[in-house]
Structure formats: C-alpha cells, structure tokens
Amino acid sequence: MTILLKQVTIADPQSKHNGLTKDILIEDGSIVSIESNISQKADQTIDCDGSFVSGGWVDVFSNFCDPGFEYKETLSSGIAAAAAGGYTRVLVMADTKPVTDNKAQVAYIHAAGTQANVTLHPIGAITKKMEGQSLAEMYDMRASHAVAFSDGMHPVQSPGVFLKALQYVKAFDGILIQIPIDKTIAANGLMHEGIVSTQMGLPGLPAVAEELMVKRDIDLLRYTGSKLHITGVSSATTVELIRAAKKEGLSISCSVTPTHLFYCDEDMTTYNTNLKVIPPVRTKADRDALRAAVVDGTIDCIASHHAPQDWDHKVCEFEYAEFGNIGLQTTYSALEQTVPGLKPEQISNLLSGNARQIFALPTVSIEEGQAAELTIFNRKETTTLTSTNNKSKSNNSAFMNQALTGKVIATINKGKLTQ
C-alpha cells in the first residue's frame, strides 16, 4: 500500500526536514521519498495543507480495563480510541482483574497490539495483586514485553517496598511509574482541600499528600540511582521538587494530564463527577505552574490517564462516583487549548519523542528509509468529542461536547492509515 502526504509541515526535531513543508511518499510501511513535490500516484493521498506531521504519539498511562472490566473498556475499544486520538503506541496500566502482575497477563496485552494499528506496551505491577506488600515477578514480565512497572491507582505506600523495587529494576535498566499519593493523609479526600472543598462540603485531599510522596520517592531514587517517572503531577510544589531533582542529575521524569492543565478546583462547583480524578485538580496557581512547566520542559510528557467508568459509577452522587475520566481522543486538543503558542517541535516531544526516550521505545525519525510511524495534526481545526464519535465504551469525559482547538487528521503505523 502506498500513501502520499501532500504539503505537510514536518515537526520532528531529529529530522533534517524539520520545519519544512514537503510531500512524503510511504510504501509498505516505510518512508521512500521526501520531496517538495511528488507527482506519483498512490493508493491513498491526503491533502495536508496547513497540517503537521510528527513521529507517532505515545500515551504513557492508560487503563484499558481488560481483562476483568470489559464493560468499561476492552483492548479493542481502547485501541480504537487511541488511534482516533493520534496515538500509535500506548502504555497500558496493570489495573485489571486479575492484576497484570505476571508474564502471562503481560503477554495477553502485548499480543493484542501486535497486529493492530496501535502498539500496546503493558505496564506490569510493582507488587503482587497491587497490594503493596511483596514484589511481583518484574524480571519475568520484562522478558514478556513489560515496558515499565507501576501499581497504577494504588501507589506503593511502603518506603521499604518501593526502595526494593527501585533496586530490583535497576538490574535490567527498568523504570517505575508512580502516582504520588500518601493514602494515610488522603484516605477520604474527594477533591483538592481548600476554600472550594469547604464551600462544597466535601472532604479534601491536600496537596501535601502528593508532595510528601514525591519527596520520599526522590530520596529513594537518589539512594538507589534507579529510574522513576512520576505521573499525574498536580501541584506547583511538586513541579519545583522535580525540577530540582533534574538539576541534581537524578533519572527522574514526569507527566501531567490534560485535565490538570485545563481545569482547577473552582470548576468543580457543579459537582461534575467527570472532574473527580486522582490526583485532584487543584488551584489556579497550581494549574498555571503546570502550564509553565510544560513550556519550560520540566514536564516531559502529556499523559491521558484514560480511565473509563461505566454509567453507574459516574452518574451518581459525587461522593459515590469513581475517580477518573477518559482522555485519549481529547488529550492533544486540550493541550493546544491550554498551552497555546507551543512550537510544533515541543508538541512532538511532549506527545512522542520524550516518552520514547524515557521508556526505551523505538525512535522515529521522518527521513527517507525510516519506518513510517506518524501522526498528522492540524493546529487550527477544532475537535468536539460527542457520544457519536467517541470510540471508547465509556462516556465519562470532562471534555464531552466542548469544541477544542486542534485536531488529529490521521495516523500511519505498520502500513495502516487511520483517519
């Protein structure tokens, strides 16, 4: 199959064509020609005037709920949502039933993405059954294609266990992913603790529950010399802690969700359960600090934290609603909406390049002779997620029916075009 991209602007810091508007000819999954004008006929021709192309996007933290919670999402519906959102690779959380804490579970998820237009990279659990007590079979899971390790929505609370995990993965140059929440402080919190939570009469989840965990994990990282990725960064203090750790030379990276870039606690006065997320959206000052950290490069990746929830667990009283929202199809447009003025190269790094480097995924370069794993996007067109075009099995989106700036035009991966 041949695919011809006409007049697309290349957003790839690694390419000699970066910033140039070119025609790109793709044949059997490889880039065969990059020229100012290509007249050759192709099986599929896309007029990309005004659009950009980057290396295929990578989401670093998504829950596909399969096996065990297929009524919320399946691997196939998650793949469809990811492709529609511009992703060619997704790191899939271990929050399944049974938990992805062994090589058989890892192999099941990995196999589902081998022939699909989106490659799935399983995240193995750090501890058995995510109970936080004893280490899971991380070495075996690594051999079965686990790309990283995390206890997902159940972050490891024991410093001793987390220390052992950091030491263990160092043997094979592995990396841990942690959502920073000290549950002894945040046990009953439903939203950010502050003036708004008091006015709404809801128990708060203070920022210190996040910041203490980050301080602890940085200390353990320094001691072990291992690798750590903190996802779901939500407070200004957390950003400063990570910025200082990077300056120190520690192997630390981080990601933020589009929800935390877009919303703050003042947006929750309607008791919108789709804004009930972990960590919670915090103050305007925190939100502005996150946006600034995206611009200056302290934040490495944008993570969707795609967390499907069925109708029964979202359309209910705020107190009883489950945490999380879906985000794969709106992550890019929410980024454009909240952090305008990003250079195309920054978008490429935030959604592709940095994640590939952090998690040792195959690099992508838009050059002749290279594999065509690409995402095409338009920065001026708009995206509106509706119940009709939503590919997920769940509808718990904080951005449902909102027109957002930025649109994914297509992805190309494994010789397959998805529009």
What is the radius of gyration, based on Cα positions, of the chain? 21
Are the beta carbons of 93 and 73 closer than 8 angstroms?
A: no
Task: Look at residues 194, 293, 276, 275 and name the one whose alpha carbon lies nearest to residue 237.
Answer: 293
- Spell out the domains of the chain, with CATH numbers in brackets: 2-52+368-418 (2.30.40.10), 57-358 (3.20.20.140)
Distances 44 to 5, 28, 41, 94, 115 between C-alpha atoms, Å: 9, 12, 8, 37, 21
- Output DSSP code: residue 215: H
Residue 408 phi/psi, 5-degree rounding, is: -80, 125
- Residues 104-130, buried b or exposed e (16+ Cβ, 10 A)? ebbbbbbebbeebbbbbbbbbbbbeeb
Contact yes or no for 394/326 (Cβ under 8 A): yes
3-class secondary-structure state, position 123: strand
With H, G, I as helix, E, B as strand and everything else as coil, classify residue 323.
coil
What whole-number distance in Å separates Cα of residue 395 and Cα of residue 210?
28
- Residues 6 or more apart whose CB falls under 8 angstroms from that of 363 comprise 14, 55, 356, 357
Residue 232 has φ and ψ, to the nearest 5°, of: 80, 30
Q: What angle, 0 to 180 degrees and rounded to 10, lies between the N-to-C axes of helices 75-84 and 103-112?
A: 50
pLDDT of residue 187: 84
The CA angle 181-322-403, to the nearest 5 degrees, is 100
Beta bridge partners of 192: 205
- Report the 10 Å Cβ neighbour count for 265: 23
Task: Give yes or no for a contact between 300 and 175, defined as CB atoms under 8 angstroms apart.
Answer: no
Nearest residue to 127 (alpha-carbon basis) of 64, 169, 181, 180: 169
The Cα–Cα gap between 232 and 227 comes to 17
Q: 363-375 as b/e, with b when 16 or more CB fall inside 10 Å? A: ebbbeeebbbbbb
Nearest-angstrom CA–CA distance, 92 and 89: 9
Task: Give the residue carrying structure tokens 């000819």.
Answer: 25
- pLDDT on residue 186: 79
* Residue range 230-274, pLDDT digits in tens: 999 999 999 999 999 999 999 999 999 999 999 999 999 999 999
Nearest by Cα to 58 from 106, 91, 30: 91
Task: Compute the distance between CA of residue 309 and CA of residue 7 in angstroms, rounded to an integer.
Answer: 40
pLDDT in tens, the chain (419 residues): 899 999 999 999 999 999 999 999 999 999 999 999 999 999 999 999 999 999 999 999 999 999 999 999 999 999 999 999 999 999 999 999 999 999 999 999 999 999 899 999 999 999 999 999 999 999 999 999 999 999 999 999 999 999 999 999 999 999 999 999 999 997 889 999 999 999 999 999 999 999 999 999 999 999 999 999 999 999 999 999 999 999 999 999 999 999 999 999 999 999 999 999 999 999 999 999 999 999 999 999 999 999 999 999 999 999 999 999 999 999 999 999 999 999 999 999 999 999 999 999 999 999 999 999 999 999 999 999 999 999 999 999 999 999 999 999 999 999 999 99
Q: Give the Cβ contact number of residue 152 at 10 Å.
A: 22
pLDDT tens digit sequence for 327-348: 999 999 999 999 999 999 999 9
| Amino acid, res. 384 | T
d(CA 212, CA 206): 11
Q: Round to whole Å and give the CA distance between 411 and 377.
A: 9
The answer to whether 287 and 259 have CB atoms below 8 angstroms apart is no
Two tokens at 217? 């994990």
Q: Is 67 exposed, middle or buried (0-12, 13-18, 19+ CB in 10 A)?
A: middle
pTM (2 d.p.): 0.96
CB distance 172 to 360 below 8 Å = no
